[in-house]
């Protein structure tokens, strides 16, 4: 049996770090949004072979380091069933190591697919997801949501008003654990309450003006391009712009399609990983 799911990319409309926890993780408060840039994830039960994964990018791990495999194994542990073989196929479109939860979203899509083959409620899938990675529970759910705790405590939010989003990933990686280590106590925080009120009011300008990711204040000097792309997006007419997650992808929100496409075309001359996207609702 084959089951295919879309794994949507996520953006952080806000990302706040509240403090370090005894378990080594950080308490976060983030407003998350899915966008229609997606990987295609299919799972196929087979007669033999254990859990295998193949992607159209050959440098992705093919073992338990791949979150898609991790998710499948966690699902089978919880469900108490396991087919003799499960093959996962990933068609990647979300850039890798970009701050858009590509790997977490693939893992979440595997959980949703398996939850259809071996029926399991969504809450259980989110709980299993928390053991796979901090962003996985949100990726199981998708849409617009507040993520707290390690990232796994979720509250649904009113949808982001329809808009056009330009995403641009410069060509260098940022290590998430390293960036967490660089963060110092700060008095600068996103206006999360204001963001929630703007979403409730359907106020796109209010949302765009409150985009804020505290990681941006602790980026190493070599990541200067993040600031340059952000300024470029604002110069090109974005209502607001911010880095997503631990970066380096930067996104800008536009009200109209035309200016978004023009901005994307302009950035694409320098950055080949430039995309336009629209918000999507829950998975």
Task: List, by residue number, the catalytic residues.
Answer: 10, 135
For ligand C5P, the closer of residues 34 and 276 by Cβ is 34
For binding to ligand C5P (CB under 6 A), which residues are involved? 25-26, 28, 133-135, 150-151, 176-177, 180
Could you tell me whether strands 240-243 and 212-213 are parallel, antiparallel, or unpaired per DSSP bridges?
unpaired
CB of 235 to ligand C5P, least distance (A): 32
For ligand C5P, the closer of residues 28 and 204 by Cβ is 28
For ligand C5P, the closer of residues 134 and 274 by Cβ is 134
CB of 174 to ligand C5P, least distance (A): 11
Q: Provide the b/e sequence for 168-184 (b: ≥16 CB within 10 Å).
A: bbbeeebeeeebbeeee
CB of 18 to ligand C5P, least distance (A): 10
For ligand C5P, the closer of residues 26 and 127 by Cβ is 26
Three-state SS for the chain is CEEEEEEEEEEEEEEEEEEECCCCCEEEEEEEEEEEEEEEEEEEEECCCEEEEEECCCCCCCCCCCHHHHHHHHHHHHHCCCCCEEEEEEECCCCCCCCCCHHHHHHHHHHHHHHHHCCCCHHHHHHHHHHHCCCHHHHHHECEEEEEECCCEEEECCCCCCCEEEEECCCCCCCHHHHHHHCCCCCCCCCHHHHHHHHHHCCHHHHHHCCEEHHHHHCCHHHHHHHHHHHHHHHCCCCEEEECCCCCCEEEEECCHHHHHHHHHHHHCCCCCEEEECEECEC
For ligand C5P, the closer of residues 20 and 273 by Cβ is 20
For ligand C5P, the closer of residues 180 and 218 by Cβ is 180
Are 39 and 105 contacting, i.e. CB atoms less than 8 angstroms apart?
A: yes
CB of 268 to ligand C5P, least distance (A): 29
| Residue 209 φ then ψ, to 5° | -75, -15
CB of 231 to ligand C5P, least distance (A): 28
CB of 183 to ligand C5P, least distance (A): 9
């Amino acid at each position: 049996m084959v089951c295919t799911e879309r794994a949507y990319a996520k953006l952080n409309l806000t990302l706040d770090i509240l403090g370090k926890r005894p378990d080594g993780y950080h308490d976060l408060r983030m407003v998350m949004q899915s966008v229609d840039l997606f990987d295609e994830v299919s799972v196929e039960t087979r007669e033999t072979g254990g859990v295998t994964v193949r992607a159209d990018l050959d440098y992705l791990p093919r073992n338990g380091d791949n979150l898609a495999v991790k998710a499948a194994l966690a699902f089978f542990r919880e469900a108490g069933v396991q087919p003799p073989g499960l093959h996962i196929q990933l068609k990647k479109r979300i850039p890798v190591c970009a701050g858009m939860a590509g790997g977490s979203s693939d893992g979440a899509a595997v959980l949703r697919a398996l939850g259809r083959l071996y029926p399991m409620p969504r809450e259980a899938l989110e709980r299993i997801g928390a053991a796979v990675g901090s962003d996985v529970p949100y990726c199981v759910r998708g849409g617009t949501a507040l993520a707290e705790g390690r990232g796994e405590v979720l509250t649904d939010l009113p949808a982001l008003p329809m808009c056009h989003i330009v995403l641009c990933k410069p060509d260098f990686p940022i290590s998430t654990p390293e960036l967490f280590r660089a963060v110092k106590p700060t008095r600068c925080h996103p206006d999360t309450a204001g963001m929630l009120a703007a979403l409730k009011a359907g106020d796109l300008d209010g949302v765009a003006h409150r985009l804020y990711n505290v990681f941006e204040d602790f980026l190493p000097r070599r990541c200067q391009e993040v600031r340059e792309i952000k300024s470029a997006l604002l110069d090109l007419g974005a209502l607001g712009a911010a880095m997503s997650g631990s970066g380096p992808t930067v996104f800008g929100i536009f009200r109209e399609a035309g200016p978004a496409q023009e901005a994307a075309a302009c950035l694409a001359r320098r950055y080949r990983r430039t995309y336009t996207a629209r918000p999507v609702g829950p998975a």
